[in-house]
Amino acid sequence: MCGIVGYCGPGPASEVLLEGLKRLEYRGYDSAGICVDVDDELKVIKKKGKIKDLKEIVPEDLDGHSGIGHTRWATHGEVNDRNAHPHMDDSGKVVLVHNGIIENYEGIKRRLKKEGHTFLSDTDSEVIAHLIASLYQGNLEAAVRKSAFLLKGTYGIAVMHRDEPGTIVGIRNGSPLVLGIGDGEMFLASDVTAILAHTKQVVYLEDKEIVTITADTYRTSDYYEQEIEKKIESIGWELEQIEKDGYEYFMEKEIWEQPESILRAVQGRIDREGATGHLGGLNMTPRQLLNIKRIYIVAAGTSFYAGMVGAFLLESIARIPASTELASEVRYKNPVVEPDALYFVVSQSGETADTLYAMRELQRKGATVLGICNVVGSTIARESDGGVYIHSGPEIAVASTKAFTSQISVFYLLTLLLARMRHLSFEDGLEIVDAIEKVPDQIKKILEKTDTIRSLAKKYARYTNFLFLGRGLNYSVALEGALKLKEISYIHAEGYSSAEIKHGPIALINETTPSLFLVPDDKLRDKVINNIKEVKARSGKVIAVAVEGDNEVAGIVDDVIWIPKTNPVVYPYLMVIPLQLFAYYCALELHRDVDQPRNLAKSVTVE
């Protein structure tokens, strides 16, 4: 949610800022703006709508070499020009951009109004600009530091002052902020993708840290004026990875990248000689792993459904009780931490606010919490007690695809590791290893035959309600498929266990509500077929994702999408690909904005 870019250097600030904001579009936003220091005046230009709308009103001759920019996702105040960032105090001297939520802004605003301040927006963010202006006594960093003790909430902030040209101060508390170090130029951003075109050398700020930058220098310190020596890290991504590379949409590219992203997730982590997984980042000894009595997986959205796959695998194969919990609910129920339990938090970005807060609450209660995330240097990666990177590469589209299959890859490896330490035989472990190693090529075969799915999207895209149904391991895949369709096509869809259809959802069945069934050739296949027959008996239309050669399924459904035969344990990999494609093609058919669906943000950094 929201994006920040800051720049100090010799280049044209407006161009750097607009380019950076363009690369942050995937995070979700509804307005954008920039501020450029021009001849010691802070020139603010902001606009409701897309970056292209902002670019149209930025003068081509806007001269200036330092500035800040922002993409806003509305929380306080409606979507309009005046609520867009950057915000300025009424003296015109302080300008800032802000990600996060200030919980006590109303009280601060009342006090500042009594002191004579006039507010122009309905946002909580504008309050910070006025507060810093009221505390300013010739040193911007000092004023920002003082303001930090008065603000309650989460924030990533970049701020400028008219009397300190060429200087930007950034501060982080609960909302990501990264410093980029270039050759005679410095950058601030909420996400490394904004600055990857200019530098790979970065410093990740921790909570309650402040950075002050000019073109040639940076200084990091804490709230108590203590300087902090920060480690400079190198971004592992290449610029080409965050570009479309000939695809129409990032989502399309990321679906097609899954054979490679799954390979990256498992490469070097499969031990064929031991028929097991190897996950060194867990930071746990074999004895500690053997002593685990229960596993909890905490996540949100698509990561939650990947966690459901993981919990099922761990319980059914490793024989360890496992469950998945919604991150947003964990800390508010005062969770009971069990001494022999292991906790995993799952987040593609590593910055998901609900998941991060849940992790911290569990750690406060003494839990060992391991992270599963994609972004190196993210907050969860730094603050967890260990964990695993999924190595899926940048995921730009708001709707997650390749991260899901990479996350479940980690859970397959974890399951193998723990199961082989307990009771799983070498032969059974090797069968799972063999099946996992074949998955990338099997996904390629599905991707080579997308015409059927595209034609089904044309046929079904005008329906307004869908049911997605699966059993066992594939129940969570059905939930994920329904989420994808909702997210990017805006078609209402619900996921259920197909066994639950007779406990309520069957009331929805008619000729205008299609059902999409997942039918692997596993031990629950016959039961799923009986559920299909129940739907067909009530004039329901049925699409099935089924295993090649299953003529019985083909004979009773309206349409079928074929997937290759594999070990029943790994069908979630193959089942989810047609669902991603179906959602994608339905969205295209309905002319939706596939990469930036309405009201959604890629990285949900506020509660």
Residues labelled as active-site residues: 2, 602
Q: How many CB atoms lie within 10 A of CB 365?
A: 12
- What CA–CA distance (Å, rounded) separates 444 from 528? 27
DSSP state of 521: S
- Per the CB < 8 A criterion, the answer to whether 559 and 543 are in contact is yes
Could you give the CA distance from residue 196 to residue 427 in angstroms, rounded to a whole number?
46
Q: Return d(Cα 7, Cα 17) in angstroms, integer.
A: 7
CA distance 90 to 118: 6
Name the amino acid, one letter, at 519.
Answer: V
Place of tokens 């905490």: 298
Helices 426-447, 402-422: inter-axial angle, 10-degree rounding: 170
- Residues 16-49 as b/e (b if ≥16 CB within 10 A, e otherwise) read bbbbbbbbbbbbbbbbbbbbbbbeeebbbbbbbe
SS3 content of the chain, % helix, strand, coil (to 5): 40, 25, 35
Residue type, 55: K
| HEC assignment per residue over 355-384 | HHHHHHHHHHCCCCEEEEECCCCCHHHHHC
Q: Helix 125-135 crosses helix 105-114 at what angle (to 10 degrees)?
A: 50
**Residue where the block lists tokens 């709230």:** 223
Which one, of 416, 446, 382, lies nearest residue 574 by Cα? 446
Amino acid at 492: H
Element (H, E) at 66: strand 66-72
Strand-by-strand arrangement of the 168-173 sheet: 87-88, 94-102, 153-161, 168-173, 209-213, 218-222
Nearest CA among 361, 249, 344, 354 for reference residue 306: 344
221 is written with which tokens?
Answer: 């310190």
The answer to whether 223 touches 208, Cβ cutoff 8 Å, is yes
- Which pair of structure tokens corresponds to residue 153? 């909430």
The two structure tokens encoding residue 595 = 């990469």
Structure tokens at 302: 């698509």
Under 8 Å between Cβ of 155 and 129: no
From CA 595, how far away is CA 28, in angstroms rounded? 9
